[in-house]
Amino acid sequence: MPSPSPIFAEMEYEHTVFLKPRKEESLIRRHPWVFSGAIRKIDGHPKDGDLVKVCANKGRLLGYGHFSPNTSIAIRMLTFQEEEIDGDWWRSKIRQALKVRSDLNLLAESNQNICRLIHAEGDGLSGLIVDYYDRVAVVQTHSMGMHCALNEIVQALKVELPELKGVFDKSSKLLKKIGLADVEDGLVFGSLPEDWSPIEFGRKIVIDLEQGQKTGFFIDQRENRSLLSQLSKGKKVLNVFSYTGGFSIAAMQGGCELAHSLDSSKRALDLAEESVTLNGFDAKRHKSIEADAMQFLKNGVAEYDIVVLDPPAFAKSASARHQAVQGYKRINQRAIQTMKAGSLLFTFSCSQAVDDRLFTHTVIAAAIQSNRMVRILHRLHQPADHPVSAFHPEGAYLKGLVLRID
Ligand code: SAH
């Protein structure tokens, strides 16, 4: 590695951002976001995606991050010390993230080959998500800085994961939102193995890389699906907001009498049916219901023993929180009111802006209005391969409750 000369340092980090007095405190605590309102002045003319040096008001170095002038998070920090962000740096970050997953033994079993490899702030890489599905990595860059680093990221993944056969970039939708119109989704390395077979604790998964939501599947519910699997024997299960049927397949794995998948997306339901066949389950035990969940729940769910409610994020920002809470209350109340005695409700929220406490209070409010005896059996969260930095509590986005309704 070349030793940094003064000229080198100037070329690499020609942009320096100075924060307003006392705005350095959160960065000293290793919170990785700098909001635009915290910036006092900028030396240089950084463009969207450029690496900038960040200093406190009086010039103390705070670290380096990706500049993002068009969003409220103006800088996403990559490091809180003096170091060069080069190919070696990316490899070391990715190696550390992989070590966390291998220490969790998440890919050690032959019946389990999907996990999240990089969880943005949880792995010190704000703006980057990488999911792993049986030798294929799916990358989502949420910022211009991460988009510009794609090559380094792919190289690092290839070196650190020798079994890797393909890398699929699935960032175009996110990048369009920040003004990059000409990026397309697709393989940026290798190809899909002919015998590609993503599997989650024995459940084979159909993933649509081209058109699927997020990275193609919601890995964050993996352990929660396994819990449903354990509780499903002989039960009638309704999976509302089913997407490609992850919870339905888990219920069928656990020996449910029937599983009904409800979603507004016909495409997602087609994939759910494909999954049923791929897993060798009797297709007569599964039914797809293409419907609006709010409307459907009005008719009651008394015929089921277990109901799963896993809606999309109702609150995409703090300003939408109030409306989101009303939405959660409404769907939970509609379900609880009509569920049969002794039934179970798996209810979730993946809105970052609605925290654990608020979600629990909202569900309890729904239970009170339903006038039913309701007990909390489990409190659920995102799994360990979606780690939350202790300094960035906003990263804890998934919460869920398993309720017994009597
Ligand atoms: N539970 C799923 C993930 C759910 S993602 C899993 O385990 O994989 C949220 C799903 O809700 C999406 O598939 C989306 O199509 C669906 N959706 C959004 N709004 C809806 C509505 N009003 N009615 C029914 N489905 C809806």
Q: What is the mean pLDDT of the chain?
A: 95
Residue pair 140/129 in contact by the 8 Å Cβ criterion: yes
Please tell me the class of the 6-79 domain: mainly beta
Q: Is the CB of 264 under 6 A from ligand 1?
A: yes
Active site residue: 55, 115, 256, 350, which one?
350
Q: How far is the CA of 265 from the centre of ligand 1 (A)?
A: 8
* Run of H or E residues at 189: strand 186-190
Q: Is the CB of 241 under 6 A from ligand 1?
A: yes
Residue 127, helix vs strand vs coil: coil
Is 256 assigned a catalytic role? Answer: no
Q: What is the pLDDT of residue 14?
A: 83
Q: Which atom of ligand 1 is nearest to the CA of 310?
A: 1
Hey, what amino acid is at 109? E
Q: Is the CB of 400 under 6 A from ligand 1?
A: no
- Region(s) of the chain under CATH 2.30.130.10: 6-79
Q: Is the CB of 247 under 6 A from ligand 1?
A: yes
Q: What is the pLDDT of residue 13?
A: 62
Residue 183, helix vs strand vs coil: coil
| Residue appearing with tokens 């699935």 | 170
CATH 3.30.750.80, domain 87-197, yes or no? yes
Q: Is the CB of 292 under 6 A from ligand 1?
A: yes
Q: How far is the CA of 294 from the centre of ligand 1 (A)?
A: 12
Structure tokens at 274: 């494909």
Q: How far is the CA of 263 from the centre of ligand 1 (A)?
A: 5
**Beta bridge mates, 199:** 204
Q: Look at ligand 1, atom 22, and give the residue with the nearest C-alpha.
A: 292
What CA–CA distances, in Å, run from 370 to 50, 167, 333, 380? 53, 48, 6, 23
Q: What is the pLDDT of residue 277?
A: 98
Give the CA dihedral 35, 39, 45, 48, nearest 10 degrees: 0
Show Cβ contacts of residue 108 under 8 Å, excluding neighbours closer than 6 positions: none
The number of beta carbons lying within 10 Å of the beta carbon of residue 27 is 22
Residue pair 248/237 in contact by the 8 Å Cβ criterion: yes
**Bridging pattern class, strands 39-43 and 114-119:** unpaired
Show Cβ contacts of residue 184 under 8 Å, excluding neighbours closer than 6 positions: 172
Residue pair 263/243 in contact by the 8 Å Cβ criterion: yes
Topology of the domain comprising 202-405:
Rossmann fold (3.40.50)
The torsion region of residue 50 among left (phi > 0), alpha (psi -120 to 50) and beta comes to beta
Residue 184, helix vs strand vs coil: coil
Maximum pairwise Cα distance, the chain:
73
Structure tokens at 334: 């509609």
> Model-level pTM?
0.95
Residue pair 67/15 in contact by the 8 Å Cβ criterion: yes
Q: Is the CB of 118 under 6 A from ligand 1?
A: no
Q: Look at ligand 1, atom 1, and give the residue with the nearest C-alpha.
A: 242
Structure tokens at 68: 């993002």
**Bridging pattern class, strands 343-349 and 399-405:** antiparallel
Q: What is the pLDDT along the chain (406 residues), one digit of tens a residue?
A: 444 444 444 445 689 999 999 999 999 999 999 999 999 999 999 999 999 999 999 999 999 999 999 888 999 999 999 999 999 999 999 999 999 999 999 998 899 999 999 999 999 999 999 999 999 999 999 999 999 999 999 999 999 999 999 999 999 999 998 888 889 999 999 999 999 999 999 999 999 999 999 999 999 999 999 999 999 999 999 999 999 999 999 999 999 999 999 999 999 999 999 999 999 999 999 999 999 999 999 999 999 999 999 999 997 777 889 999 999 999 999 999 999 999 999 999 999 999 999 999 999 999 999 999 999 999 999 999 999 999 999 999 999 999 999 9
DSSP 209: T
Q: Is the CB of 263 under 6 A from ligand 1?
A: yes
Q: How far is the CA of 264 from the centre of ligand 1 (A)?
A: 7
Q: Which atom of ligand 1 is nearest to the CA of 265?
A: 15
Residue pair 79/36 in contact by the 8 Å Cβ criterion: no
**Bridging pattern class, strands 136-141 and 186-190:** unpaired
Q: Is the CB of 132 under 6 A from ligand 1?
A: no
- Region(s) of the chain under CATH 3.30.750.80: 87-197
Q: How far is the CA of 313 from the centre of ligand 1 (A)?
A: 10
The number of beta carbons lying within 10 Å of the beta carbon of residue 175 is 21
Burial of 257 (0-12, 13-18, 19+ CB in 10 A): middle
Q: Which atom of ligand 1 is nearest to the CA of 263?
A: 25
d(CA 209, CA 262): 21
The number of beta carbons lying within 10 Å of the beta carbon of residue 173 is 12
Q: What is the pLDDT of residue 1?
A: 42
d(CA 372, CA 387): 35
For ligand 1, mutation pick of 201, 249, 264, 331 (most atoms within 8 Å of CB): 264
- Region(s) of the chain under CATH 3.40.50.150: 202-405
- Cα-to-chain-centroid distance, residue 304: 29
